Amino acid sequence: MNVEKTPPMVRFKGVMKKFGKVVAVEKTDLEINEGELVTLLGPSGCGKTTLLRMVAGLETPTEGDIYIKDKRINDVPVHQRNLGMIFQNYALFPHKNIFDNVAFGLKYRDIPKQDITEKVVRALEMVRLPGVEKRMPSQLSGGQQQRIAMARAIVIEPDVLLMDEPLSALDENLREEMRREVDNLQQMLGVTTIFVTHDQREALSMSDKIVVMKDGRKLQEGTPDVVYNRPSNHFVADFLGHSNFTAGMVAGFEDDLVEVHLDAGNTLWALQKNGWKEGDRVEVVIRAQKYEIFPESELNSADARNLFKGRITDRSYMGGEVSYFIDLGEGQEVHAISMMRTQIYEIGETVYVQASPQHCHLLPAE
């Protein structure tokens, strides 16, 4: 029996955007399923906001088509797309009270006044701000204003929720709180969400799927686990997290391990056999958090693979973690991050660092 596949909630098909001769978004194909929170992640100017604005109807694709619920929307006016939008600056009306701000999108939908009131009250309860209907935006904190923006976006029961850097104007502690708020609200509503950010922590902690972009191109898409642990190229590995990169050549194989002769002269083993052959030039990626650091007195000689001797050259505290830079000699330097509960090492101290083969990811040399 053939089971008919449910079409994606949002689909980009060959979508491209040019501003004059400048290509803001290269031809892009992307599918977003119903209920997913998909993050467009990348540095400023990578095209992520332009892609979002094309869904919103604020920009028109130069080429290609955008579909919502399998309906082409290129020519559908903004107000007929049934989208909720949340922006960095909240975009609240300063002269309207909270009730009128939240109800704004409902007043043009031929909804009875009593129903509007019920919907606004329910939306404010969802964002945990009941009873503020008569207040003005200026009477609320930044975090509360962002919650009102969320209430206004969800009160219309949108097919798709669009969020453009919605947390970047908040301080760090409030961002963490609002990150959880957005994540919980999206899961509770089950609304398909496109979230734009340049913040890797936001992307990794909230997303069902991450789309990494650079220079208008989609470089990789996948779950946070896949994008973080199996980056497809140097840029993705470097943009998400603190990574060490080492060049070398595939020298042989042993069971499931790849032997890599590094250009610096030593050998490293990686758990990634498929697809490589002897003589291939590769780049080894090791996350800073994946290195273990040992004092010489605790050296475990049982497995000497990927074990290197070095000297601490720099150290900085990062809350519950300590960041170390370790000189291995021959121009090699390792960045390692360890938890505060482990031993704290001093600058100038001799240590050993080790990375398990399963934490050594191989990329084709660029």
Q: Determine the pLDDT at residue 174.
A: 81
Q: Who contacts 97 (Cβ-Cβ below 8 Å, separation ≥6)?
A: 133, 134, 135, 136
Contact 64, 37 (CB under 8 A): no
DSSP string over 287-348: EGGG-EEEEGGG--TT--TTEEEEEEEEEEEETTEEEEEEEEETTEEEEEEEETTSPPPPTT
Q: Determine the pLDDT at residue 2.
A: 54
| Nearest-angstrom CA–CA distance, 48 and 63 | 16
The domain made up of 242-364 has a fold known as OB fold (Dihydrolipoamide Acetyltransferase, E2P) (2.40.50)
Let me know if the fold of 10-237 is the same as that of 242-364. no
Q: 117 is written with which tokens?
A: 């009131």
Domain ranges of the chain: 10-237, 242-364
DSSP 366: -
Q: Who contacts 357 (Cβ-Cβ below 8 Å, separation ≥6)?
A: 257, 269, 270, 271, 305, 306
Going by C-alpha positions, the residue among 266, 214, 250, 204 that lies closest to residue 235 is 214
Orientation of helix 113-126 relative to helix 142-154, angle to 10°: 130
| Nearest-angstrom CA–CA distance, 337 and 325 | 9
The domain 10-237: what is its CATH number? 3.40.50.300
Q: Determine the pLDDT at residue 120.
A: 95
Q: Determine the pLDDT at residue 181.
A: 86
Q: Determine the pLDDT at residue 298.
A: 78
Contact 16, 61 (CB under 8 A): yes
Helices (H), the chain: 48-56, 98-103, 113-126, 142-154, 172-189, 200-206, 224-229, 234-239
Q: Determine the pLDDT at residue 101.
A: 95
| CA distance between the termini of the chain | 46
Return averaged pLDDT per consecutive 10 residues of the chain, 366 residues in all: 75 96 96 96 94 96 97 93 87 93 88 92 93 94 90 94 88 84 89 94 93 97 94 94 94 93 92 86 95 83 82 90 92 89 87 94 91
Q: Determine the pLDDT at residue 121.
A: 95
Q: What is the pTM of this model?
A: 0.90
